[in-house]
Each structure stands twice: as structure tokens, then as C-alpha cells.
Structure 1
Amino acid sequence: MSPFAILTAPLTCEEIEWKIIAAKNGSTTIAPYIDARAVMARFDKAFGPMGWQVDYTPALIGNEQGVIAAIAVRNPETGEWIVKKDGSGPTDMESYKGSISGALKRAATVWGIGRELYSYPRVIVEGEHKYIPFKVLDRLKGLPKAIAEGKPLPEVIRLTPEGESAKGR
């Protein structure tokens, strides 16, 4: 498989994490994301640990301090280094570390990693939860495969805390 095919291959359920983005009005909305370790593993698999690098630069984004990540990969055919960049501002948790991780993940998206996450259905769980119920996470394990296979999916998936369809409730 070519390095580009490795980078752009659909994410697996093992690479995807879920986070709560809103818990109000009797429901919890969750969204998929990829963490920095999974990004690094993809680049290692595509180019080897010596065939890519990342450089972080502090940047002023609006009135807030942010970080730009520049991911460079060595073209296996020419040896030339190719760089793509993106940035992130501070996050709610671990402001500086979060902005570094966010910048890496955004720059990885420029390279094609995880772009399909933007097309995932919105997932809503009944009830206001502080943590995502395990049975919901278990139910969502099949979603990456369905996305990769191009199966038609609804715009919104509604689930009970037991991971069952909440459609018609």
C-alpha cells in the first residue's frame, strides 16, 4: 500500500475516540475524533519513524496564543521533504498541550488522516451524561466500517444509554 493510501485509509474503531460536545436539554451529543498517538502511528506506518517529522511554532491566533504544526514527510521516491501545516488555539483542558495536540491533528487532516470524521452522523444519547455510556461506545464500534463501506447512514443517530436505537421516542 502506498504511503498516501495508508494516510487516507478510513480510520478504524480502534483509532477513533468519542467525546461529549454538549449535554443539555435532556440529551448528550457526542462526536468522533482521533488522538495524537493514532496520528503518529499512521505516519510511522506510512513513512517509518525516520521518514516524517513535526515542528511546532507558537502563533498568535486572534487575541489568543496558539500553535502551528508543520508535518514534513520524506517522499520515498525522490527523498524530498514535503511540508503541510495547520494550527490550533488553546483548549479547555491543558491549554498549551491541548493546542499542540490540536495542531498536530489538524495538520494530519491536511495530509488526509481522518477527513471522513467530518461526514459522520451526529450522535445523540438520551439523558445528560458526564461520561459516555459503555454500551453506547460498544454500539458505535461498527460505525467506522459502515462509513468506510459507504453504507447509507442517517444524519443523526439517536441512542438510549443502553446503546439501543431511540428512534421514535
Structure 2
Amino acid sequence: MAKSAASKIASLVLRILTIVLLLISLVVLSTNSKTVETDLGVAQIRFKDILAYRYVLFTIVIGVAYSLLQLVFTIFEVIRSSEGNLVFDFYGDKIISYVLATGAGSGFGVTNDMKQLYELGNFFEKSYASISLLFLGFICTAVLSVLSSYALPKPV
């Protein structure tokens, strides 16, 4: 089954939306820090001090890289009215959506656990905001995954 023009445009819009959501998530997460007063002095807590947030950052970067690559391919498909590589789209969208889902899940989990243990003001709220944007990026990629599965040729 060939990709329709509407399907190609929807893919293009969803890929752009995914990139925007993931880039905003990346900025919010990477700039998240908090200065706290301890018995030993002043300490700076940054996102990279928490291992799960590093994994979240990794998933965001992988998601942005893949989405940019696919955006170029999708633009090429729309301009040239070609099919592209349907199998690559199918498996790539599936894998990346799972990667983004695991990043969002680990981020939500560690933020919930750490928030119960430590009072760091708005540090965890910013983390929740970044991870929520990552989750929305996952939703877009999951929808793309469904669209790419419809484009695959049906067995005879």
C-alpha cells in the first residue's frame, strides 16, 4: 500500500512537532539546576548529578537525531513524490518510540522518588516539565509508528 499525500503531510507535521517538543525538553532538562545550602556549604545540584536524568538526556538526543534524519527523508519523499524506505520507517519509528517511552518512564519514576526524599524547590517541577514534553514527543512518534505500519505493503 502506497503512502498517500495526506499521510506524507501528516508524517511531516508530526516529525516537526516531535523535534520541537524534544528540543524544548532538552533545553529545559539541560538548564535545570538548583543551589542548596548544606552543613558543608553551598552545593549546586544539576540534572547530570542524577543518573536517570542522564538517561533521559540520552533518549532525547537519540530522538532528536532520528527525527531530524527522518524529517529530511520525509521532505525528500514529499518533494519527489516517492515512497521512501517503508521498512526503515516502520522499524525506526517503533524502536525510537520505545526508546522515548523508556526515557519518559525512567524520568517520571526517579523524579517521583527523589521528590519524596528531598526538597529542592522547583528543580523537580522543571524535571517534570521536561519529561512531560519528552512523553508528548513519544506520543507523536507512536502515532508515526502506526502511520508507517499502514504504509507497509500487505501480503497477498
Give the TM-score category using the shorter length: under 0.3
Q: Rg bigger for which structure?
A: 2
Greater helix percent: which structure?
A: 2
Whichever structure has more strand as a proportion of its residues is 1
1 or 2 for the larger relative contact order (CA 8 Å, sep ≥6)?
2
